[in-house]
């Protein structure tokens, strides 16, 4: 009986530890979803100037593109940091 309780507590502790480590990322993803949905319903369009061209796109798509760029940047920086630590 105590083995089951320990296993449940350990599983709960892992979940709590996960939430403690990733709470900011979870909050930001939820905020991203809310902003994307609100802008998708509104039907607004954003105009972006990229070098010499002008690009128009739905605002929700712009939000998702910026998020993807941020994810890729974070992933690359984390890989570089891990590689530097491994070399030491």
Q: How far apart are CA 33 and CA 40, in angstroms?
A: 10
pTM: 0.65
pLDDT tens across the length of the chain (88 residues): 455 555 556 667 888 888 888 888 888 889 888 888 888 787 788 899 989 999 999 988 888 899 899 889 988 888 888 777 788 7
CA 69 to CA 20: how far, in whole Å?
25
Residues 6+ positions from 63 with CB-CB distance below 8 Å: 32, 35, 36, 39
**Crossing angle between the packed helical segments 59-87 and 2-42, to the nearest 10 degrees:** 140
């Amino acid at each position: 009986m105590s083995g089951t309780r320990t296993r449940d507590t350990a599983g709960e502790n892992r979940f709590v530890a996960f939430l403690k480590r990733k709470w900011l990322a979870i909050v930001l993803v939820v905020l991203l979803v809310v902003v994307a949905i609100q802008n998708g319903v509104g039907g607004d369009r954003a105009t972006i100037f990229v070098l010499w061209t002008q690009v128009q796109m739905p605002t929700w798509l712009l939000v998702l593109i910026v998020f993807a760029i941020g994810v890729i940047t974070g992933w690359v920086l984390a890989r570089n940091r891990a590689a530097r630590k491994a070399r030491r």
